């Protein structure tokens, strides 16, 4: 299988490539990544010398490049992780979200169509469903109702992918996963941000009342589901992925402080995110019943090993937070 993995230098994509290349020898992976602020080749050190791995620095919106790569590497499969992925950044400026997430995805879909690829997996998010009240779960039948520029761009990409399946018969599958955590997650996201700020004795900015709920899944569980849907998922279908582990933000923040032996006085309630979705929760019975997937990691153990990873990989995140990230942090939180 010659697989174009787009966005493989980011958090989930790099975990996916590291996992696949350490367990499979039937994948030739071509990783196409623009190396935006979120892309980092340090995440893929283990793969550098693997003969089944090639890295190409490039933008998924580049038609000519896509065409060249599909031809050169005889690409017959695609997994698209590439995206602008952070809600807060999409609120600060949405243009690049639509460019990468919508136009970029369509460029890959069009190339896949020209080269008759056998499967195209679009990595999507539960955020396309919008927000839940205090009860209920997102199923694959839940109407799309995205609320942020990020989630609306992901919903548009999903629609583009399904349209290419419907119109031309390209074998497209879509996964919609809940919030991930684990190694190599960029510090702007809730869990790494709170770990790193705690370690640096900086304030932990909790939006609004802190009672917003996310459904957390360890990144390896997500990637095993991606592998399964990629190989066995039915064309034209959507598969929700989630580990049924709902947590209030404030409880995660307190858990991290507690594990690191820090005081809850570091918590600072700050101005809420505009349009903040109250609750996400996934019904993953379709992938469980149809494909036999099940999450393997318990939240308690996996959050512990995630915290340990950040403790043991200070060099990785110290380099990040001393660069461009400082400017983002200042704009987003008003201080550094």
Active site residues: 126-127, 150
Tokens found for residue 130: 């919008």
Residue 61 in contact with ligand NAD, rule: CB under 6 A: yes
Pairing relationship of beta strands 204-207 and 53-57 according to DSSP bridges = unpaired
Phi, psi of 164 (to 5 degrees): -70, -35
Q: What are phi and psi of 81, to 5 degrees?
A: -95, -15
Specify the residue, 31 or 101, whose C-beta has the smaller distance to ligand TYD.
Answer: 101
CB of 119 or CB of 214, closer to ligand NAD: 214
Q: Residue 236, by phi and psi: left (phi above 0), alpha (psi -120 to 50) or beta?
A: left
Residue 214, contacted partner among ligand NAD, ligand TYD, none, CB below 5-8 A by kind: ligand TYD
Shortest distance, position 308 Cβ to ligand NAD, whole Å = 20
| CA–CA dist 275, 91 (Å, integer) | 9
Pick one of 73, 207, 309, 316: the residue that binds ligand TYD (CB under 6 A). Answer: 207
- Size of interface with ligand NAD, in residues (CB under 6 A): 30
What mask, x for binding ligand NAD by CB under 6 A, covers residues 169 to 208? --------x-xx-----x----------------------
Q: What is the largest CA-CA distance in the chain?
A: 57
Is 115 exposed, middle or buried (CB count within 10 Å of its CB: 0-12, 13-18, 19+)? middle
Structure tokens belonging to residue 198: 């705690």
- Choose, by CB under 6 A, the member of 89, 154, 165, 245 that binds ligand NAD: 154
Residues 196 and 313: their CA atoms lie apart, in Å, by 11
Angle at 244 between CA 259 and CA 98, to 5 degrees: 95
The nearer residue to ligand NAD, 117 or 188, going by C-beta atoms, is 188
SS3 34: coil
> How far is Cα 30 from Cα 275, in angstroms, rounded to an integer?
37
Q: Which residues from 158-197 bind ligand TYD, rule CB under 6 A?
A: 179, 189-190, 193
Task: Give the CB-nearest residue to ligand NAD.
Answer: 10
What is the C-alpha separation between 309 and 191, in angstroms, rounded? 12
Q: Is 149 in the site for ligand NAD (CB under 6 A)?
A: no
Site for ligand NAD, residues 91 to 130, rule: CB under 6 A: 100, 104, 123, 125
- Tell me if 249 contacts ligand TYD by CB under 6 A: yes
Q: Contacts with ligand NAD in 205-264 (CB under 6 A)? A: none
Least Å distance between CB 34 and ligand NAD? 4
**Site membership for ligand NAD, residue 310 (CB under 6 A):** no
**Cα 324–chain centre separation:** 21
**What residues have CB less than 8 Å from 169, skipping those under 6 apart?**
none
CB of 273 to ligand TYD, least distance (A): 6
Give the footprint of ligand NAD on this chain (CB under 6 A). 6-7, 9-13, 33-36, 38-39, 59-61, 81-85, 100, 104, 123, 125, 154, 177, 179-180, 186
Give the footprint of ligand TYD on this chain (CB under 6 A). 87, 179, 189-190, 193, 205-207, 212, 214, 249, 273
């Amino acid at each position: 299988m010659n697989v174009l993995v787009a966005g493989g230098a980011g958090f989930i994509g790099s975990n996916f490539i590291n996992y696949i290349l350490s367990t499979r020898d039937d994948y030739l992976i071509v990783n196409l990544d623009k190396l935006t602020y979120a892309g980092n080749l340090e995440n893929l050190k283990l793969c550098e010398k693997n003969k089944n791995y090639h890295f190409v620095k490039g933008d998924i919106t580049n038609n000519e490049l896509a065409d060249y790569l599909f031809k050169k590497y005889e690409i017959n499969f695609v997994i698209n992780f590439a995206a602008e992925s952070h809600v807060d950044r999409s609120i600060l400026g949405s243009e690049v979200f639509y460019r990468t997430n919508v136009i970029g995805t369509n460029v890959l879909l069009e190339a896949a169509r020209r080269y008759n690829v056998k499967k195209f997996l679009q990595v999507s998010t539960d955020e396309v469903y919008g927000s839940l009240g205090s009860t209920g779960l997102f199923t694959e039948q839940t109407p799309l109702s995205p609320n942020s520029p990020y989630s609306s761009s992901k919903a548009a990409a999903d629609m583009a992918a399904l349209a290419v399946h419907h119109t031309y018969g390209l074998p497209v599958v879509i996964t919609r996963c809940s919030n991930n955590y684990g190694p190599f997650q960029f510090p702007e996201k809730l869990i790494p941000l709170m770990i790193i700020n705690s370690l640096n004795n900086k304030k932990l900015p909790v939006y609004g009342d802190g009672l917003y709920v996310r459904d957390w899944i360890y990144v390896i569980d997500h990637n095993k589901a991606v592998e399964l849907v990629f190989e066995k998922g039915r064309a034209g279908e959507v598969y929700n992925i989630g580990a049924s582990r709902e947590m209030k933000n404030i409880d995660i923040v307190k858990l991290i402080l507690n594990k690191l032996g820090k005081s809850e006085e570091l918590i600072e309630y700050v101005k809420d995110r505009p349009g903040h979705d109250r609750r996400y929760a996934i019904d993953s019975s379709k992938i469980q019943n149809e494909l036999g997937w099940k999450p393997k990691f318990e939240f308690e153990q996996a959050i512990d090993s995630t915290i340990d990873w950040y403790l043991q990989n200070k060099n990785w995140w110290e380099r990040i937070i001393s660069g461009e990230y400082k400017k983002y942090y200042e704009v987003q939180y008003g201080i550094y």
